[in-house]
Chains A and B, each alone.
Chain A
Amino acid sequence: MGDIEITELRKLTEFIKQEFDYDFKNYAMSSFRRRIQRVLDLYKMDSVDELIRLLAKQEFFFEEFISEVTVNVTEMFRDPTFWRVLREHIIPNILLNHNKISIWHAGCSSGEEIISMMIMLDEMGVADKAKIVATDVDKAIIERAKKATYPLKNMEVNRKNYLRYQGKYTLERYYKESGSEAIINPSLLENVSYRKHDLVQGSVFSKFDLVLCRNVMIYFNQTLQNDVLHKLHESLFKYGYLVIGSKESLIWCDIAHKFIVVNNEEKIYKKIKD
């Protein structure tokens, strides 16, 4: 990989902020650099300057750029043991005190996490109690999430995860095959509303009992992680739950003390202070 210099990245992020009002300044340095390199390779460009020129010239290119720069890798029942803890402890706990449950998938990507959630709730017999909001900064990926149609070859890993999760049935119960694709049963996703939302610049828009923001802040630097945690905190009811990715940590954030660790292995936190 040729070296993209930090000064070039800075120039790019400033340009994007100015022209498109997205702020990548505090994305994690080395992965952001790799993403930009990837875009350069993909479009056969030689320099960041060339990229800036193209962004300036062709406005529609920016959406595509966002899609390529963000990391959308996801799976159904990713980290199966987490989903088990959710099923056995967290959801029952929430329903102990509430009749309804509101859930936010922040950074939902192509929707596998939402589908996992709905399957889990469905198998628990509580799907009708749930109101789900799913958001992402990448418009194109939200469309994919809405469509809920996946390459059949992806289903193998999803099925394996579901097995490890020890679901009630088999994953096949929830989709039908059509050519090389798996189409998720649309009725499963009836209670889900999708919208575009930027965690970096967007404002707090509602409050939830459970917020999943897994493997999203991993692409932010610590300054930004800290800022975003404030927003997630504000988006939770008191005693609501926050889940982050299995290798993420928020112990160094300034409001970490407003949460307690419910499950360290699965990175489940509970808001205990406003």
Chain B
Amino acid sequence: MPKFELSTKYKAIVIGGSAGSFQPITQILAALPKEFPVPLFLCLHRLKHVRHGFVEALSIKSNKDVIEPADKESIRKDKVYLAPANYHMALELGHFISLSTEELINNSRPSIDITFESAAYAYRDKVIGILLSGANKDGAAGMEAIHAKNGMTIVQDPSKSVINAMPNAALARTKVDYILSVEEIIEFLLELDKKYRI
């Protein structure tokens, strides 16, 4: 039996992380090939006033282009989109991104819940949500929304996360399809990549 249940229906992979997620994210980006077939959307809690440097830091090891989108920017599948500091990032019907400076949610802007919920709304079962290490419960409601639309949900194994509150909050709130180490998340994504190429 194959380790993962894969399909080529996916249109968006949303990844959320907070404290302790920088390392896993860079590992994941370093492992993905340039032509990876599904766009990635990163919602990471970060310092609000540090407008520069983060994209660059993530780009260093990534084969894919990492960009902070402008409001209403069209989605291209060869890109990695990073929620800009101090903006919520949502996916919209019609393949574009919108930004917003609404109130903080769970004390966060960008809020992982907003990115995940909007992805579930726009892409229904064609979303994969991945929640990494973090010290709060942002993303749990978003994972629930993805699951409710029959999208796929993955959390970083709490026992292997630097800070496990965020993966645990998701596990407590909703059904999660896979609980994986970072290495396994990478394996999953590479398997998915293969599937698209057959």
Contact = CB atoms under 8 A, between A and B. Distances in A.
B72 interface: yes
Interface stretch (B4-12, B19-27, B91-99, B129-137): B91-99
A3 B122 CA distance: 11
Interface in A203-227: 215, 218-219, 221-222, 225
A222 B117 CA distance: 22
A26 interface: no
A29 B102 contact: no
A1 B98 contact: no
A249 B73 CA distance: 9
Interface string B90-132: 1111000011111100000000001001100110000000000
A35 B98 CA distance: 14
Contact of A30 (B51, B70, B121): B121
A81 to B, nearest CB: 8
A71 B102 contact: yes
A96 interface: no
Nearest to A28: B98
A1 B117 contact: yes
Contacts of B118: 30
Interface residues of B, number: 26
A31 B99 CA distance: 9
B49 A252 contact: no
Given A31-B90, A248-B70, A249-B70, A164 B98 contact: no
Contacts of A218: 71, 98-101
B90 A30 contact: yes
B90 A247 contact: no
B141 interface: yes
Contact of B99 (A1, A3, A35, A247): A247
Contact of B103 (A3, A33, A73, A215): A73
Nearest to A225: B72
A129 interface: no
A273 interface: no
A34 B114 contact: yes
Contacts of A71: 100-103
Interface of A: 1, 3, 28-31, 33-35, 71, 73, 81, 160, 164, 215, 218-219, 221-222, 225, 245-249, 252
